[in-house]
Amino acid sequence: MKGSNKKNYIMTGVLLLIGIVFILPLVMMISGSLKTIGEINSAHFSLFPKVPQFHNYIDAIQQGMWIRWIFNSLYVTFLATVISLLLNLMAGYAFARLNFPGKGIMFTLALTGLLMPPQVTLAPMYIMMSNFPLVGGNNLFGDGGTGFINTYSGLIIPFIAGSFGVFLARQFYLGFPSSLDDSSRIDGCNRLQTFFKIYLPLSKPLIASLGIIKATFTWNQYAWPLVITNSPKMRTVQLALDIFKGEDFVEWNLLLAATTFVALPLLLMFLKWQDAFIQVNASSGTKG
Amino acid sequence: MASSKGKFSKDAKDAYILVLPFFVFFAVFILIPVFNILRFSFTKYDLFSKPAFVGLHNFKFMLNDPVFLQSLRNTLIYTTFTVLPVLFFGFIIANLLNNRTIGAKRTLRVLFYMPYVPSMVSMAVVWMWFYDPITGIFNHLLTALNLPPQSWLSDPNLALPSIIAVGIWQQIGYAMVIYLAGLQMVPYSMYEAADIEGAGPLRKMVSITIPMVKETTFFLVVVLIIRSFNVFGQVNVMTSGGPLNRTTTIIHQVYLRAFSDFRFGYASSMSFIVLLIVGFITILNFKYGRTAHEREQ
């Protein structure tokens, strides 16, 4: 056994080399964002800029409404994550620990939602959100106004109901000893108090990992924000990249600076909490 | 669980307070839109007037719509040539990382997983730069090798493969992580027994590893196919479906027909096709997933 645990340094080195080539696009994104436009357009390619042009980031942000777009994305990501986490944890606890009529059918229906990709409901979701009754000037029948178009609620609401978090929470709570419920019952707590006073404070690891995944998922959304917003003020960062790219003359260094701005926070979060990222994603099908 | 009838109903009330906030959102914003795909599929609906029932017209029209048929073809090509390489490379890398003689495993895992973390849009933008005919790295490389430069994303024959490459690159790390989890379930003693019987590495791979991770493979196939059938973002960002519709996909057609042409009925009927495929694969998943699970017990 001891002999077989000896490291194969050559193979490890080869794999590390392949791994570095694998992330070269990310390295080039960052290094390209620090080049001058002259270096980008030069016929001689060099991996790194001669002098890092940090002002590219300021120049890129000053085009369009990047401050507003970053705020929009942060706001939508924060609210969608917090609300969705709370609802997922509550439901996960009820599915794990409580008996109630209709539990089986609700659980089965939620199960079918697991593999449902959001893109497939793009058109009917838009119809519903734009014709939502009593919202955005709409009457009781959903006519007359613009519904959830160009609103923060429109950007947030479709991402609240994800059923993946419910399954993860249920799985997490099934691992708790049921004596926890019995003792809280003896102490006179009802089930709501048991969840909020006992289970919720013990859920920090779940909140952290599920929260990271939900936040990444919401931050990275593209298709839904594309259809539910059309006012430049309500765009999110992913849409902003798409628009920025669509300008007739592409200044790649500035575009790459904006791209790095959108991608780097996630990459840094991943480096810090890699286990949470990888474990939760390993148990999920859809991204998020 | 319930100690008495009265207790049970009190618990049930609390249970509904806990479950319903989730379930109402789920029903309204996931179940109803799915049901509405079916409903609108049989209508002509431009958003400005009420949906008008047209029977099977949308589906008949679809069969004669060359752009839709092209998008179906592109989606099938995208799916095949994304899912297979992702599975293959994910499996190979996971096996290498699972080998006891390999060091720096955490670093390696981070490196291979990293492309999966940022958004598809941001990675699509970076790759558009690589594909840029003048400033892109690929043409720099071709020129250095004395080969003719290519116009990657505007060449009808290269555009779809160029988009596929991004999808493969981004998802290998995901498949690797799922396979790594699956490989933890394979008992090391099986390999030791095979060693005693003198089995080589290839024999061990074919007779032990591949059958033991069959369920993982099945799960990955399901997830990757469903995702590929819904590919939209990289297409809309990188090529807008062009050149000559050679990269348009079903969901991209749904987007164009609904949000450029306001043909929501027709768009819904295309979504319905995707839904059928997703539903079929999901059923397969439950069927095989469950029997495999029961066999284990």
Residue A286 has pLDDT above 80, yes or no: no
ipTM value of the model? Answer: 0.90
DSSP string, chain B: --SSHHHHHHHHHHHHHHHHHHHHHHIIIIIHHHHHHHHHHTEE--SSS--EE-TTHHHHHHHT-HHHHHHHHHHHHHHHHHHHHHHHHHHHHHHHHH-TT---HHHHHHHHHGGGSS-HHHHHHHHHHHH-TTT-HHHHHHHHTT-----GGGSTTTHHHHHHHHHHHHHHHHHHHHHHHHHTTS-HHHHHHHHHTT--HHHHIIIIIHHHTHHHHHHHHHHHHHHHHT--HHHHHHTTT-STTSS--HHHHHHHHHHTT--HHHHHHHHHHHHHHHHHHHHHHHHHHHHHHHHH-
Torsion over CA: B252, B254, B258, B261 (sign):
positive
**Other CB atoms within 10 Å distance of the CB of residue B54:** 18
Give the confidence band of A284 by pLDDT, cuts at 50, 70, 90.
low
Domain annotation covers residue A157: yes
pLDDT of B99 over the 50 cut: yes
Q: Are residues A119 and A202 in the same domain?
A: yes
Residue A232 lies in a domain: yes
Contact list in A for residue B30 (CB cut-off 8 A) is: 113, 116, 121, 161, 163
Tens-digit pLDDT profile for residues B268-292 = 999 999 999 888 887 887 777 654 4
Identify whether residues A72 and A45 lie together within a single domain: no
Residues A41, A89 within the same domain: no
Segment A110-118 shows an average pLDDT of: 81
Q: Give me the residue label for tokens 């590390």.
A: A16
Supply the pLDDT for residue B296: 37
Of residues A123, A252, A259, nearest to B271 (C-beta): A123
Of the pLDDT bands very low, low, confident and very high (cuts 50, 70, 90), residue A45 is confident
B228 to chain A: closest CA residue = A117
B80 against A45, higher pLDDT: B80
Question: How many CA atoms are closer than 13 Å to the CA of B56, on its beta-carbon side?
Answer: 2
What lies within 8 Å, CB to CB, of A138 at 6+ separation is: A131, A132, A144, A145, A146, A147
Residue B255: per-residue pLDDT = 97
Any chain A CB within 8 A of the CB of B202? Answer: no
* Pair (A40, A80) in one structural domain: no
Partnered with residue B52 across adjacent β-strands are B44
Mean pLDDT of A82-94: 96
Percent of chain B scored above 70 by pLDDT? 94
Give residues 206 to 265 of B whose Cβ lies within 8 Å of A: 219, 222-223, 226-227, 229-230, 232-233, 236-237, 251, 254-255, 258-259, 264
Please identify which residue in the block is written with the tokens 């955490």. Answer: B106
Q: Is residue A1 located within the same domain as residue A114? A: no
pLDDT at B289: 62
Q: Among A85-94, A205-214, A273-282, which is the least confidently predicted range?
A: A273-282
Structural domains in chain A (count)? 2
Closest in B26, B126, B132 to A113, CB measured: B26
Residue A8 confidence (pLDDT) above 70: yes
Planar angle of CA A229, A231, A232, nearest 5 degrees: 110
Q: Are residues A196 and A165 in the same domain?
A: yes
Are the CB atoms for A252 and A263 separated by under 8 Å? Answer: no
- CATH number, domain at A274? 1.10.3720.10
Q: Does B137 touch chain A (CB under 8 A)?
A: yes
Give CATH for domain B65-296. Answer: 1.10.3720.10
Q: Is residue A115 part of a domain?
A: yes
Q: What integer is the mean pLDDT of A192-198?
A: 91
Question: What is the percent of chain A where pLDDT is above 70?
Answer: 94
Query: Both tokens of residue A205?
Result: 């690891």
CA angle A40, A45, A49 (to 5 degrees): 60
- Choose, out of A111, A119, A141, the residue to mutate when testing the contact with B (most B CBs < 10 Å): A119
Q: Domain range holding A10?
A: 1-53
A-contacting residues in B 142-181 (Cβ below 8 Å):
169, 172, 174, 177-178, 180-181
Determine the residue among B129, B143, B189 to mutate to test chain A binding: the one whose Cβ has the most chain A Cβ atoms within 10 Å: B129
For residue B215, the model assigns a pLDDT of 86
pLDDT digits (tens, 9 = 90+) for B105-136: 899 999 999 999 999 999 999 999 999 998 89
CA–CA dist B21, A90 (Å, integer) = 9
Looking at mean pLDDT, say which of A204-208, A221-225, A239-243, B195-199 comes out highest. A221-225
Phi and psi angles of residue B52, each rounded to the nearest 5 degrees, phi first: -110, 130
d(CA A45, CA B136): 9
Which of A13, A34, A53 is the C-terminal boundary of a domain?
A: A53
pLDDT (average), residues B150-164: 96
Of residues B293 and B23, more confidence is placed in: B23
CA distance B79 to chain A (A): 15
Judged against a pLDDT cut of 80, whether residue B25 lies above it is answered with yes
- Shared domain check, A40 and A80: no
Same domain, A68 and A33: no
Q: How many contacts, defined by CB atoms under 8 Å, are there between A and B?
A: 295
Distances (CA, A) of A135 to A131, A149, A161, A261, B67: 8, 10, 19, 34, 37
DSSP secondary structure code for residue A234 in this structure: G
